[in-house]
C-alpha cells in the first residue's frame, strides 16, 4: 500500500473505509496510509475514533455493532481463528448475541491470545473446519451451540437454547451428546443433563416442565409429540402429550407458538377436530404449569376420569415424520 499524501486520508473517509473491514482497521494499516502514531492517539482519545482491541481501531466513537465486534474478534485472533458460542449461534440464525461478553473465539491450541475486552479466547486441540457467515469464519452449528451451553448457568435459558436448535431440525440429541463427549469437559454437566431430559420427547422448556410435573400425577405414562390419526387415517393434528389408553390430549399453550391470529386459529381448529373425533383435550399455559401445579394436576385427573367414563374412540398416534398430505404414510 502506498502512503497517502500527508493529511489526505483525513479528507477521504471512503479510503479509510476501503482499507478497513466493517469499519475496523489495523493500526499498521493506518500507519501504512501515512497516519502518524500521535494522530492515531489523538483521534482515539475522545476523538472520532476509538481503540477497539489490541492493534485495532474502530472508525467511529459510538457503540460497536455486533458485526463490528465479531469482525474485531476475528482480526484479533488471527488467520486460524473462528467464532463460536452465542456469537456463532447468532450468525447461524439462532438466539442472539447482544452482550459485549458474548464473543467467543476459537484458536488452535498451539497459538496464544489473551482474553481481552469483550473477546473470550478458547485454545482447542479440536478446531473444526469453519463455515463463512457474513464474511467471517464460524464454527459449525453444533459446536457453537455446545460452546454456548457450557458457559450458561441458567438451566431454563440453556434448555430453551438447545431445544430451539433441536426442534428446528438443525441438530439431533445423539450427535450433540457425541460432540459433548468428544469436547471439553468444563461446563458440560448442565447441557448433558438437559440433552438427556430432552431425549424423552420434550421440544421446549414448557414441555420439559410439563413432563416433570406429570411424573408427580400418578397417571399412566404419556407419549409426546406424536401425530394423531382418525379411524380412517385422517390426520387430526399433532399432540404435545397423549395418554393413549384413554385418548387424552394434553396441550401446552405456549405463547411462542400461538402469538399470531393465524396460529391461534389453527390451534382452535385442531382442538375442535380432536374433540369432534372423540378425544378429550385439556390445555394449560407454561405459566400455569410453573405456578399452579396443584390446579394443573387436578385438571389432568378430572380429564382422565372423564376419558375413562366414555368408550375410547378409535384414534391412533404415529411418529410426526410418518404423516404426509393428511394421511399416514
Burial status of residue 13 (CB atoms within 10 A of its CB: 0-12, 13-18, 19 or more): exposed
The arithmetic mean of pLDDT across residues 71-88, rounded, is: 96
List the Cα angle 114/119/121 in 5-degree steps: 50
pLDDT band at 326 (very low <50, low <70, confident <90, very high): very low
Question: Between these two residues, 323 and 315, which has the higher pLDDT value?
Answer: 315
pLDDT given at position 256: 53
Listed range (60-64, 65-69, 203-207, 228-232) with the worst mean pLDDT: 203-207
Average pLDDT, the chain: 87
pLDDT given at position 106: 97
pLDDT band at 8 (very low <50, low <70, confident <90, very high): low
Percentage with pLDDT > 90 across the chain: 60
In this predicted structure, the answer to whether residue 50 has a pLDDT above a threshold of 70 is yes
pLDDT tens per residue, range 128-185: 999 999 999 999 999 999 999 999 999 888 988 998 898 788 888 889 999 998 888 8
37: cell is 502514531
Pairing mode, if any, of strands 280-284 and 248-252? parallel
Angle between helices 189-198 and 173-182 (to 10 degrees): 160
In this predicted structure, the answer to whether residue 328 has a pLDDT above a threshold of 60 is no
Pairing mode, if any, of strands 235-243 and 223-229? antiparallel
Question: Between these two residues, 25 and 254, which has the higher pLDDT value?
Answer: 25
pLDDT given at position 232: 92
- Domain limits, the chain: 8-58, 65-199, 207-328
pLDDT tens per residue, range 202-253: 667 888 888 889 999 999 999 988 999 999 999 999 898 999 999 999 998 8
The whole-angstrom separation of Cα 71 and Cα 134 is: 10
In this predicted structure, the answer to whether residue 83 has a pLDDT above a threshold of 90 is yes
55 in helix, strand or coil? Answer: coil
255: cell is 405463547
The answer to whether the pTM exceeds 0.85 is no
The arithmetic mean of pLDDT across residues 70-75, rounded, is: 97
In this predicted structure, the answer to whether residue 48 has a pLDDT above a threshold of 80 is yes
Where do the H-state alpha helices sit in the chain? Answer: 13-18, 27-32, 37-44, 66-77, 85-92, 141-149, 155-167, 173-182, 189-198, 205-214, 261-276, 286-291, 293-308
Question: Between these two residues, 271 and 71, which has the higher pLDDT value?
Answer: 71
Closest CA to 23 of 54, 65, 76: 65
Question: Between these two residues, 27 and 97, which has the higher pLDDT value?
Answer: 27
Amino acid at each position: 500500500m502506498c502512503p497517502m499524501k500527508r493529511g489526505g486520508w483525513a479528507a477521504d473517509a471512503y479510503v479509510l473505509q476501503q482499507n478497513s473491514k466493517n469499519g475496523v482497521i489495523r493500526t499498521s494499516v493506518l500507519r501504512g496510509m501515512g497516519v502518524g502514531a500521535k494522530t492515531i492517539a489523538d483521534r482515539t482519545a475522545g476523538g472520532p475514533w476509538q481503540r477497539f482491541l489490541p492493534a485495532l481501531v474502530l472508525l467511529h466513537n459510538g457503540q460497536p455493532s455486533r458485526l463490528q465486534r465479531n469482525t474485531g474478534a476475528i482480526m484479533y485472533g488471527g488467520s486460524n481463528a473462528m467464532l463460536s458460542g452465542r456469537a456463532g449461534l447468532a450468525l447461524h440464525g439462532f438466539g442472539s448475541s447482544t452482550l459485549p461478553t458474548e464473543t467467543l473465539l476459537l484458536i488452535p491450541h498451539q497459538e496464544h491470545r489473551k482474553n481481552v475486552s469483550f473477546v473470550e479466547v478458547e485454545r482447542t486441540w479440536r478446531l473444526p473446519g469453519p463455515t463463512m457467515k457474513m464474511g467471517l469464519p464460524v464454527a459449525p452449528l453444533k459446536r457453537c451451540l455446545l460452546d454456548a451451553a457450557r458457559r450458561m448457568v441458567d438451566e431454563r435459558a440453556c434448555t430453551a437454547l438447545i431445544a430451539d436448535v433441536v426442534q428446528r431440525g438443525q441438530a439431533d440429541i445423539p450427535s450433540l451428546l457425541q460432540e459433548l463427549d468428544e469436547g471439553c469437559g468444563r461446563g458440560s454437566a448442565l447441557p448433558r443433563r438437559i440433552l438427556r431430559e430432552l431425549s424423552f420427547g420434550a421440544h421446549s422448556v414448557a414441555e420439559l416442565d410439563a413432563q416433570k410435573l406429570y411424573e408427580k400425577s400418578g397417571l399412566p405414562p404419556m407419549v409426546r409429540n406424536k401425530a394423531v390419526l382418525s379411524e380412517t387415517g385422517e390426520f387430526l393434528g399433532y399432540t404435545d402429550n397423549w395418554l393413549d389408553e384413554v385418548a387424552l390430549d394434553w396441550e401446552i399453550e405456549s405463547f411462542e407458538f400461538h402469538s399470531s391470529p393465524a396460529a391461534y386459529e389453527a390451534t382452535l381448529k385442531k382442538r375442535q377436530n380432536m374433540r369432534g373425533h372423540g378425544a378429550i383435550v385439556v390445555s394449560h399455559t407454561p405459566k400455569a404449569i410453573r405456578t399452579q401445579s396443584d390446579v394443573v394436576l387436578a385438571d389432568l385427573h378430572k380429564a382422565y376420569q372423564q376419558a375413562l367414563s366414555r368408550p375410547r374412540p378409535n384414534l391412533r398416534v404415529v411418529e410426526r415424520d410418518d404423516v404426509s398430505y393428511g394421511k399416514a404414510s
